[in-house]
Amino acid sequence: MTLGTDLAPQVLLPGFIGTTVPAWLDDALDAGLAGVCLFAGNVDPGDPHGTARLTAALRARRPDLVVALDEEGGVVTRLEAPRGSTLPSPAQIGLLPVDAAAETGALLAARLRAAGIDLVLAPDGDVNDNPLNPVIGARSFGADPEVVAERVAATVIALQAGGVAACVKHWPGHGDTVVDSHHGLPTVPAQTVERHAAPFATAFAAGVAAVMTAHVVVPEWGQTAVTLDAAALGRLRALTDAVIVTDAVDMAAVAAEAGPGAAAARALAAGADLVCIGNPGLSGIDDEAQYREVVDAVAAAIDDGRIPEARARDAAARVAALAAAYPAAAETDGSLPDGSPADGSPAEPDAATVRSIARALAEASTADVASIAAAVEVRDGRRGPSMAVATRARPVVEWLSEATTRELAAAPAGPGRIIVVADRLDDDQRAVIAAAQAQGAAVVVNVGPIGATAPHPTVELGADSPLSVRVLQEWLGGVAR
């Protein structure tokens, strides 16, 4: 065994396919793998205890394994991917007093602990002040840096008090971009970075355990993506001692030129501590081949000195310290921690919280919510569900479509009354809205960040999620239509 083959697994966070532990992952665990990141394909929606059993099986092979999950509430969920999250979205929380962020963080921590998760890739510290942003949107607490900062800090504190390490993302900020780093390399000016610094500063002050880098270029810092740039990561290390986690290295922003293996090696050499490899189930990628490419590339870079031994050992030590600070929640026999619901169902926001969200959304809306009840047709203006990489669910569209179908037979003749579900005013969605308006009265139901569909008459929902459906039901008297 070379030094590289010994150290490389200790700084990697791969995904894998399926709800059981594949043979190649067994081997990687035996070789000292740092952790795994679960995605929707690892969660069996028909088995409320399945994720806890899976994480327990993983830790039976390696007790100090880090098990991470992308779980933000709203449009980004893995545990509830088939139907969408029952927790408020950050955009919804941004309209409420800061206590709502702490309460939601505590609920999320309880869910994660019950599933055996010890690192959550949340909260999102991005300031979404660009309404055309294709990747952040309602994942952000809002467009005001101070509002975002207060809620980021409250969420971090609640999550970590609940026994789950938080990972604030995406430093130095992905909120003002029109390029999705899954598909290309965004540019963020230094002036924008400075404007968006407060949420990350409050997370660091709150003792956040980890921070995820953004695959963005800050031209004033150089022409290299921040994740791969030693000078940029040096700036980050000067701000915090948190574990530096990369965004997924299979994303085009860093992988397009030489692949995820080369990107992983460059990120570690630049100062990252833990490399998130990506979601192999998203595009039918061979999970073992993806991992082998990355681990071999990192091992080779350690052996030939591109990643200095001291840098690799420092990264591995930081990851090991994180695992020790947040021990696993689920026992190796698959049992759930004390206080978990016996049937595995997650705790949900109470009725008073839903009413508070409904009132805040109604006040933010520029159309009367009663206009929803007058509609007879629903059109989804998006090319796909919001953040389709996280969930294929379309609960708002489905509920509204079911409700309007029941009214079609009784609808009077005359101009159409059309709901267009949208999440931003890109060219495609603008065209759908314009066509609906040309056919008669139309109202936009916005499931993106608040204000993303101005200047159209809009009912704000702040997420395409089951919780948003609860808000609709609250508005329309608790029953469909």
Q: How far is CA 250 from the centre of its chain?
A: 16
Q: Is the dihedral of CA 384, 40, 82, 123 positive or negative?
A: negative
The C-alpha angle with vertex 448 and arms to 443 and 452, in degrees rounded to 5, equals 70
CA distance 92 to 231: 36
Q: Determine which helix (DSSP H) or strand (DSSP E) holds 297, and give its type and residue range.
A: helix 287-303
DSSP string, 22-57: -HHHHHHHHTT--EEEE-GGG--TT-TTHHHHHHHH
CA distance 269 to 363: 49
Q: How far is CA 407 from the centre of its chain?
A: 36
CA distance 481 to 475: 10
Q: Give which of 95, 100, 72, 89 is closest to 353, Cα–Cα.
A: 100
Distances (CA, A) of 10 to 170, 290, 294, 313, 328: 23, 16, 12, 9, 18
Query: Are the beta carbons of 84 and 132 closer than 8 angstroms?
Result: no
Query: Are the beta carbons of 74 and 90 closer than 8 angstroms?
Result: yes
Strands 377-380 and 165-171: unpaired
Query: Are the beta carbons of 267 and 212 closer than 8 angstroms?
Result: no
Q: Give which of 256, 265, 257, 251 is closest to 293, Cα–Cα.
A: 265
Q: Determine which helix (DSSP H) or strand (DSSP E) holds 120, and give its type and residue range.
A: strand 119-120
Q: How far is CA 425 from the centre of its chain?
A: 22
Query: Are the beta carbons of 86 and 348 closer than 8 angstroms?
Result: yes
Q: Is 196 a catalytic residue?
A: no
**Which residue among 118, 129, 247, 287 is the active-site one?**
247
CA distance 379 to 439: 13
What tokens were used for 475? 């508005």
Q: Is 129 a catalytic residue?
A: no
DSSP string, 156-224: HHHHHHTT-EEEEEEET--SS-SS-TTTS--B--HHHHHHT-HHHHHHHHTT-SEEEEP--B-GGG-SS
Distances (CA, A) of 43 to 54, 82, 370, 437, 443: 9, 10, 38, 41, 36
Query: Are the beta carbons of 109 and 370 closer than 8 angstroms?
Result: no
**Which residue among 6, 26, 64, 182 is the active-site one?**
182
Residues assigned a catalytic role: 182, 247
